Structure 1
Amino acid sequence: MGIRGLLTFVESKPNQFMVDYAFHSSTIIVDANNVLYKLYDTCNGSNVAFGCDYDLVYSHFDEFCSLLDSCNVKPIMVFDGGLDVDNRKEMTREIRTKKRMTTEISCNPSRQERLNVLPLFGKHIFTAACKKHNYQVVQCDYEADDEIALLSRILNRPVF
Protein backbone atom coordinates (compact mmCIF):
# COMPACT_ATOMS: atom_id res chain seq x y z
CA MET A 1 0.00 0.00 0.00
CA GLY A 2 2.31 2.81 1.18
CA ILE A 3 2.19 6.56 0.82
CA ARG A 4 2.75 7.84 -2.70
CA GLY A 5 5.93 9.93 -2.93
CA LEU A 6 7.10 9.31 0.65
CA LEU A 7 10.28 7.42 -0.31
CA THR A 8 11.24 10.05 -2.89
CA PHE A 9 10.67 12.79 -0.34
CA VAL A 10 12.76 11.07 2.35
CA GLU A 11 15.55 10.23 -0.12
CA SER A 12 15.66 13.85 -1.31
CA LYS A 13 16.68 15.01 2.20
CA PRO A 14 18.91 12.22 3.54
CA ASN A 15 20.67 14.39 6.14
CA GLN A 16 17.34 15.39 7.62
CA PHE A 17 15.64 11.98 7.73
CA MET A 18 18.28 9.26 7.52
CA VAL A 19 20.58 8.11 10.30
CA ASP A 20 23.10 5.27 9.96
CA TYR A 21 22.29 2.51 12.38
CA ALA A 22 24.01 -0.84 12.81
CA PHE A 23 20.97 -3.08 13.11
CA HIS A 24 21.75 -6.64 14.19
CA SER A 25 20.70 -9.60 16.33
CA SER A 26 16.97 -9.07 16.12
CA THR A 27 13.77 -10.11 14.40
CA ILE A 28 12.11 -7.85 11.84
CA ILE A 29 8.73 -7.91 10.13
CA VAL A 30 9.15 -7.70 6.35
CA ASP A 31 6.68 -6.55 3.71
CA ALA A 32 7.74 -9.46 1.49
CA ASN A 33 6.03 -8.27 -1.70
CA ASN A 34 7.81 -4.94 -1.48
CA VAL A 35 11.21 -6.54 -0.85
CA LEU A 36 10.65 -9.12 -3.60
CA TYR A 37 10.04 -6.47 -6.27
CA LYS A 38 12.86 -4.24 -5.00
CA LEU A 39 15.35 -7.11 -4.98
CA TYR A 40 14.33 -8.26 -8.45
CA ASP A 41 14.65 -4.70 -9.71
CA THR A 42 18.26 -4.56 -8.44
CA CYS A 43 19.23 -7.93 -9.94
CA ASN A 44 21.57 -7.31 -12.88
CA GLY A 45 21.81 -9.63 -15.86
CA SER A 46 18.35 -11.19 -15.86
CA ASN A 47 16.28 -10.66 -19.00
CA VAL A 48 12.64 -11.66 -18.66
CA ALA A 49 12.27 -11.48 -22.47
CA PHE A 50 14.08 -14.83 -22.55
CA GLY A 51 12.02 -16.32 -19.73
CA CYS A 52 14.37 -15.16 -16.96
CA ASP A 53 17.65 -16.55 -15.65
CA TYR A 54 16.22 -18.08 -12.49
CA ASP A 55 19.61 -19.26 -11.19
CA LEU A 56 20.89 -15.69 -11.28
CA VAL A 57 17.78 -14.27 -9.62
CA TYR A 58 17.78 -17.01 -6.95
CA SER A 59 21.45 -16.26 -6.21
CA HIS A 60 20.58 -12.57 -5.81
CA PHE A 61 17.75 -13.40 -3.38
CA ASP A 62 19.99 -15.87 -1.52
CA GLU A 63 22.73 -13.22 -1.22
CA PHE A 64 20.22 -10.85 0.42
CA CYS A 65 19.20 -13.58 2.88
CA SER A 66 22.86 -14.35 3.64
CA LEU A 67 23.43 -10.66 4.36
CA LEU A 68 20.61 -10.72 6.91
CA ASP A 69 22.03 -13.92 8.42
CA SER A 70 25.48 -12.35 8.74
CA CYS A 71 23.91 -9.64 10.92
CA ASN A 72 21.92 -12.24 12.87
CA VAL A 73 18.66 -10.67 11.66
CA LYS A 74 15.72 -13.06 11.44
CA PRO A 75 12.89 -11.77 9.27
CA ILE A 76 9.26 -12.77 9.29
CA MET A 77 8.28 -12.49 5.61
CA VAL A 78 4.65 -11.41 5.18
CA PHE A 79 3.14 -11.63 1.67
CA ASP A 80 -0.01 -9.88 0.48
CA GLY A 81 -2.97 -12.04 -0.45
CA GLY A 82 -5.04 -11.90 -3.58
CA LEU A 83 -8.38 -11.08 -2.03
CA ASP A 84 -9.84 -7.63 -1.47
CA VAL A 85 -12.30 -7.36 1.42
CA ASP A 86 -14.28 -4.35 0.24
CA ASN A 87 -13.09 -3.79 -3.37
CA ARG A 88 -11.29 -0.56 -2.40
CA LYS A 89 -8.26 -1.66 -4.41
CA GLU A 90 -10.17 -3.01 -7.41
CA MET A 91 -9.42 0.04 -9.58
CA THR A 92 -5.73 0.05 -8.57
CA ARG A 93 -5.41 -3.68 -9.25
CA GLU A 94 -7.07 -3.27 -12.65
CA ILE A 95 -4.71 -0.42 -13.63
CA ARG A 96 -1.64 -2.38 -12.49
CA THR A 97 -2.78 -5.51 -14.33
CA LYS A 98 -3.28 -3.58 -17.58
CA LYS A 99 0.12 -1.91 -17.20
CA ARG A 100 1.81 -5.25 -16.46
CA MET A 101 0.12 -6.88 -19.47
CA THR A 102 1.25 -4.05 -21.74
CA THR A 103 4.80 -4.36 -20.45
CA GLU A 104 4.81 -8.15 -20.80
CA ILE A 105 3.48 -7.97 -24.35
CA SER A 106 6.29 -5.57 -25.25
CA CYS A 107 8.97 -8.07 -24.09
CA ASN A 108 10.90 -8.69 -27.27
CA PRO A 109 14.08 -10.78 -27.19
CA SER A 110 15.41 -9.01 -30.28
CA ARG A 111 15.55 -5.64 -28.49
CA GLN A 112 17.50 -7.02 -25.53
CA GLU A 113 16.14 -4.43 -23.13
CA ARG A 114 15.44 -5.22 -19.52
CA LEU A 115 11.85 -4.64 -18.54
CA ASN A 116 10.62 -4.37 -14.99
CA VAL A 117 8.39 -7.44 -15.00
CA LEU A 118 8.64 -9.99 -12.21
CA PRO A 119 9.16 -13.41 -13.80
CA LEU A 120 6.45 -16.03 -13.50
CA PHE A 121 8.19 -17.98 -10.73
CA GLY A 122 9.79 -14.94 -9.05
CA LYS A 123 7.77 -15.22 -5.86
CA HIS A 124 8.36 -18.97 -5.72
CA ILE A 125 12.16 -18.67 -5.88
CA PHE A 126 12.15 -15.82 -3.35
CA THR A 127 10.13 -18.00 -0.98
CA ALA A 128 12.52 -20.91 -1.62
CA ALA A 129 15.51 -18.70 -0.69
CA CYS A 130 13.71 -17.59 2.48
CA LYS A 131 12.89 -21.16 3.47
CA LYS A 132 16.49 -22.25 2.81
CA HIS A 133 17.51 -19.74 5.48
CA ASN A 134 14.73 -20.96 7.82
CA TYR A 135 12.79 -17.70 7.71
CA GLN A 136 9.15 -17.65 8.70
CA VAL A 137 7.03 -17.01 5.60
CA VAL A 138 3.40 -15.91 6.00
CA GLN A 139 0.83 -15.57 3.20
CA CYS A 140 -2.12 -13.33 4.06
CA ASP A 141 -5.53 -13.76 2.47
CA TYR A 142 -5.93 -10.03 1.97
CA GLU A 143 -3.71 -6.93 1.93
CA ALA A 144 -0.90 -7.55 4.45
CA ASP A 145 -0.52 -4.01 5.81
CA ASP A 146 -2.79 -4.55 8.82
CA GLU A 147 -1.17 -7.88 9.69
CA ILE A 148 2.32 -6.39 9.36
CA ALA A 149 1.39 -3.53 11.69
CA LEU A 150 -0.23 -5.94 14.16
CA LEU A 151 2.78 -8.28 14.21
CA SER A 152 5.09 -5.33 14.68
CA ARG A 153 3.04 -4.07 17.60
CA ILE A 154 2.54 -7.43 19.31
CA LEU A 155 6.15 -8.58 18.89
CA ASN A 156 7.56 -5.08 19.39
CA ARG A 157 9.69 -5.44 16.26
CA PRO A 158 10.52 -3.00 13.46
CA VAL A 159 9.05 -3.23 9.95
CA PHE A 160 11.28 -3.40 6.90
Structure 2
Amino acid sequence: MGVRGLLTYVQEHASAALEWHKLHGRHVIIDGNNLAFTIFHDGTGLNAAFGGDYDKYARYIEDFFKRLQECEVTCHVVMDGGQPLNNKKLRTVRQRVKDQISSALRLNPKNQLTNKLFPPIGRQVLENRKKIMGYSVKTVDFDS
Protein backbone atom coordinates (compact mmCIF):
# COMPACT_ATOMS: atom_id res chain seq x y z
CA MET A 1 0.00 0.00 0.00
CA GLY A 2 1.16 3.56 0.41
CA VAL A 3 2.04 6.25 -2.07
CA ARG A 4 5.71 6.66 -2.95
CA GLY A 5 6.98 10.07 -1.86
CA LEU A 6 3.80 11.10 -0.03
CA LEU A 7 5.38 11.31 3.43
CA THR A 8 8.24 13.48 2.15
CA TYR A 9 5.80 15.71 0.29
CA VAL A 10 3.61 16.13 3.37
CA GLN A 11 6.62 16.87 5.59
CA GLU A 12 7.95 19.50 3.18
CA HIS A 13 4.64 21.14 2.19
CA ALA A 14 2.30 20.52 5.12
CA SER A 15 1.37 24.14 5.72
CA ALA A 16 0.40 24.71 2.08
CA ALA A 17 -1.02 21.29 1.20
CA LEU A 18 -2.97 20.18 4.26
CA GLU A 19 -6.00 21.27 6.22
CA TRP A 20 -6.41 20.36 9.88
CA HIS A 21 -9.56 18.43 10.80
CA LYS A 22 -10.86 17.31 14.15
CA LEU A 23 -11.34 13.55 14.08
CA HIS A 24 -13.39 13.28 17.27
CA GLY A 25 -16.19 10.77 16.72
CA ARG A 26 -15.09 9.91 13.16
CA HIS A 27 -14.13 6.76 11.27
CA VAL A 28 -10.55 6.57 9.98
CA ILE A 29 -9.04 4.07 7.51
CA ILE A 30 -5.38 3.37 8.28
CA ASP A 31 -2.69 1.77 6.10
CA GLY A 32 -1.62 -0.94 8.56
CA ASN A 33 1.76 -1.74 7.03
CA ASN A 34 2.74 1.92 6.99
CA LEU A 35 1.51 2.41 10.55
CA ALA A 36 3.46 -0.62 11.82
CA PHE A 37 6.66 0.73 10.26
CA THR A 38 6.06 4.31 11.45
CA ILE A 39 5.29 3.37 15.06
CA PHE A 40 8.41 1.21 15.22
CA HIS A 41 10.71 3.82 13.71
CA ASP A 42 9.28 6.67 15.80
CA GLY A 43 9.32 4.62 19.02
CA THR A 44 11.96 5.79 21.47
CA GLY A 45 14.31 3.07 22.67
CA LEU A 46 13.10 0.31 20.34
CA ASN A 47 15.87 -1.97 19.15
CA ALA A 48 15.37 -4.78 16.65
CA ALA A 49 18.99 -5.94 16.78
CA PHE A 50 18.44 -8.49 19.54
CA GLY A 51 14.95 -9.87 19.22
CA GLY A 52 12.83 -6.93 18.17
CA ASP A 53 11.75 -5.35 21.47
CA TYR A 54 8.29 -6.69 20.66
CA ASP A 55 6.91 -6.00 24.14
CA LYS A 56 7.82 -2.29 23.98
CA TYR A 57 6.63 -2.08 20.39
CA ALA A 58 3.26 -3.61 21.36
CA ARG A 59 2.90 -0.97 24.10
CA TYR A 60 3.54 1.83 21.58
CA ILE A 61 0.86 0.36 19.31
CA GLU A 62 -1.57 0.07 22.20
CA ASP A 63 -0.87 3.66 23.29
CA PHE A 64 -1.50 4.94 19.76
CA PHE A 65 -4.91 3.30 19.54
CA LYS A 66 -5.86 4.18 23.13
CA ARG A 67 -5.33 7.86 22.30
CA LEU A 68 -7.64 7.49 19.32
CA GLN A 69 -10.21 5.67 21.49
CA GLU A 70 -10.16 8.56 23.96
CA CYS A 71 -11.27 10.80 21.08
CA GLU A 72 -13.94 8.29 20.03
CA VAL A 73 -12.18 7.71 16.71
CA THR A 74 -13.10 4.38 15.10
CA CYS A 75 -10.12 2.89 13.27
CA HIS A 76 -10.31 0.53 10.33
CA VAL A 77 -6.86 -0.95 9.72
CA VAL A 78 -6.12 -2.41 6.29
CA MET A 79 -3.05 -4.62 5.74
CA ASP A 80 -1.47 -5.51 2.40
CA GLY A 81 -2.24 -8.97 1.08
CA GLY A 82 -0.22 -11.17 -1.26
CA GLN A 83 1.70 -10.14 -4.33
CA PRO A 84 -0.03 -9.79 -7.71
CA LEU A 85 -0.13 -12.95 -9.82
CA ASN A 86 1.75 -11.19 -12.63
CA ASN A 87 4.87 -10.71 -10.44
CA LYS A 88 4.66 -6.99 -11.14
CA LYS A 89 6.28 -6.10 -7.80
CA LEU A 90 8.72 -9.00 -7.58
CA ARG A 91 11.74 -6.83 -8.42
CA THR A 92 10.75 -4.29 -5.76
CA VAL A 93 10.19 -7.00 -3.15
CA ARG A 94 13.58 -8.58 -3.91
CA GLN A 95 15.33 -5.22 -3.61
CA ARG A 96 13.66 -4.52 -0.26
CA VAL A 97 14.78 -7.91 1.07
CA LYS A 98 18.34 -7.25 -0.13
CA ASP A 99 18.29 -3.82 1.52
CA GLN A 100 17.04 -5.32 4.80
CA ILE A 101 19.77 -7.97 4.75
CA SER A 102 22.42 -5.31 4.07
CA SER A 103 21.09 -3.18 6.92
CA ALA A 104 21.10 -6.17 9.28
CA LEU A 105 24.70 -7.00 8.39
CA ARG A 106 25.78 -3.42 9.16
CA LEU A 107 24.28 -3.42 12.67
CA ASN A 108 26.74 -3.37 15.53
CA PRO A 109 26.65 -2.39 19.22
CA LYS A 110 27.55 1.24 18.41
CA ASN A 111 24.84 1.89 15.80
CA GLN A 112 22.03 -0.48 16.76
CA LEU A 113 19.80 2.26 18.20
CA THR A 114 20.29 4.73 15.34
CA ASN A 115 20.10 2.25 12.44
CA LYS A 116 16.69 0.77 13.10
CA LEU A 117 15.75 -2.40 11.29
CA PHE A 118 12.04 -3.24 11.19
CA PRO A 119 11.62 -6.54 13.07
CA PRO A 120 10.59 -9.66 11.14
CA ILE A 121 7.17 -10.02 12.77
CA GLY A 122 6.47 -6.32 13.30
CA ARG A 123 3.32 -6.36 11.17
CA GLN A 124 1.98 -9.39 13.02
CA VAL A 125 2.53 -7.61 16.35
CA LEU A 126 0.35 -4.73 15.10
CA GLU A 127 -2.37 -7.11 13.91
CA ASN A 128 -2.28 -9.12 17.14
CA ARG A 129 -2.37 -6.07 19.41
CA LYS A 130 -5.31 -4.62 17.46
CA LYS A 131 -7.27 -7.86 17.79
CA ILE A 132 -6.55 -8.04 21.53
CA MET A 133 -7.92 -4.50 21.83
CA GLY A 134 -11.10 -5.58 20.04
CA TYR A 135 -10.49 -3.98 16.65
CA SER A 136 -10.88 -5.75 13.37
CA VAL A 137 -7.96 -5.85 10.99
CA LYS A 138 -8.70 -6.40 7.31
CA THR A 139 -6.25 -7.77 4.79
CA VAL A 140 -6.74 -7.03 1.11
CA ASP A 141 -6.40 -9.91 -1.34
CA PHE A 142 -3.32 -8.44 -2.98
CA ASP A 143 -0.84 -5.63 -2.45
CA SER A 144 -2.63 -2.39 -3.16
What TM-score, normalized by structure 1, do the two folds share?
0.80
1:23: Cα distance to partner?
0.8
Deviations 1:15-60 (A, max 9, x none): 2112221112122221100111011111111111121222211110
Counterpart residue number, 1:156: none
Counterpart residue number, 1:10: 10
Q: Gaps spanning 5+ residues in structure 1: where?
A: 146-160
Distance 1:120 1:4, change over 3 A: closer
Contact 2:49 2:117 in 1 (8 A): no
Partners in 2 of 1:119 and 1:96 — Cα distance?
14
* 1:63 is the counterpart of 2:54: no
Kindly, what percent of the aligned residue pairs are identical? 29
Pairing 1:35-114 to 2, within 5 Å after superposition: 35-108=35-108, 110-114=109-113
1:82: Cα distance to partner?
2.8
Counterpart residue number, 1:29: 29
Partners in 2 of 1:65 and 1:3 — Cα distance?
23
Contact 1:65 1:129 in 2 (8 A): no
Partners in 1 of 2:97 and 2:58 — Cα distance?
25
SS in 1 for 2:130: helix
Counterpart residue number, 1:19: 19
What TM-score, normalized by structure 2, do the two folds share?
0.88
Q: Gaps spanning 5+ residues in structure 2: where?
A: none
Letter in 1 for 2:110: R
For the aligned residues, what is the CA RMSD?
A: 1.7
Report how many residues are paired.
Answer: 143
SS in 2 for 1:128: helix
1:106: Cα distance to partner?
2.2
SS in 2 for 1:50: coil
1:112: Cα distance to partner?
4.5
Pairing 1:115-154 to 2, within 5 Å after superposition: 115-143=115-143, 145=144
